A = this chain, B = another copy of it.
């Protein structure tokens, strides 16, 4: 049974009010009383009960975090950023996972809401229709989205990159490398608005380059089956693309593995592009070509923004009513293209990549990191 503030007060021969004041630095406390309290706290190993404190003070110093999955390192990175920032500000994280599912999002958010978190940082499947965001709005709880696309129908601050522009940049880069048959493998679009945005940008880039609409195949986020997707491509009218865009690095790595198992070389036979820029990608062989987004910083910025929101909320403008004219403070972070090993120039001398288990040995002459016209595209940070 942990010591309570009353125990401390008794032992120090003061009132609980004095103990509270000293511990919170609110109001003056005499030096002798202070000393006695300090001693009592130490002797009793007193640790203020956060529950009692929260109940009375009506602020929990808890931040809720909800992400689709921990399996994708990109989310773990963001959480690391959030954690560091939150801790520095004296907040603790309450944590939930949604598995890319709207109903589970709702459940997770309810669970965090039950503990009266002071604010929340989350990634949802589809902001526009998210019941979880409805709950948050209705509760009037400050929250910030990360990774999600800014939702026109919601006034919720969002920290992300321009996924459409990034998707477009990938297409243009592929075209610049000489590719004409592009394709995309994406996680379930219903579970990820950003995947949808990346796809939209990608298609737009292809169209702008005068190419036919690239083939697109969806796979499951949790247990992606890239082999099936590749088969689907191969059995389509155009065969396997020479350049594949995967909606995230996780998927891209699995896809490269599948291609390799099929006896195809990357990027010799097929170029593969990922999205996220997870740290591991840079260590692959060949290094993963990808769109690098600053995940950790994204988490940190979201946390700082949220904390500002929460503290400003002491004098909340009006319960539930957002300032009519003001934008909700979106942060559009810069992304960069990493035009690394897994994406190379198209090889015209090579026959159309086939899925037959032919031993395709050639390695396209250990190319130096392709000098790309789009290399390290860098959008400067914008805040709206």
Chain A: residues with CB nearer than 8 A to chain B? 1-2, 45, 47-52, 54-55, 60, 62, 65, 69-71, 73, 76-77, 79-80, 83-84, 87, 92-97, 110-116, 138-139, 250, 253-254, 256-257, 260, 279-280, 282-286, 319
Contact = CB atoms under 8 A, between A and B. Distances in A.
Contact of A319 (B1, B79, B80, B286): B1
Contacts of A62: 115
Contacts of A113: 47
A77 B83 contact: no
Q: Is the interface of A mostly helix, strand, loop or mixed?
A: helix
Given A51-B60, A257-B282, A283-B253, A95 B76 contact: no
A115 B97 contact: no
A1 B138 CA distance: 10
Contacts of A83: 70, 95-97
B285 A285 contact: yes
Contact of A70 (B69, B80, B87, B285): B80
Contacts of A70: 76-77, 79-80, 83
A230 B54 CA distance: 52
A93 B108 CA distance: 11
Contact of A47 (B60, B92, B110, B253): B110
A122 to B, nearest CB: 14
Given A257-B282, A285-B256, A114 B48 contact: yes
B285 A257 contact: yes
A95 B97 contact: no
A320 B71 CA distance: 37
Contact of A257 (B55, B257, B283): B283
A270 B133 CA distance: 52
B93 A45 contact: no
Contacts of A116: 2, 49-51
Contacts of A50: 114-116
Contacts of A55: 49, 51-52, 55
Nearest to A226: B283
Contacts of A48: 114
Given A49-B55, A92-B95, A93-B96, 9 more contacts: A47-B113, A71-B77, A71-B80, A73-B76, A83-B95, A87-B97, A92-B114, A254-B283, A284-B284
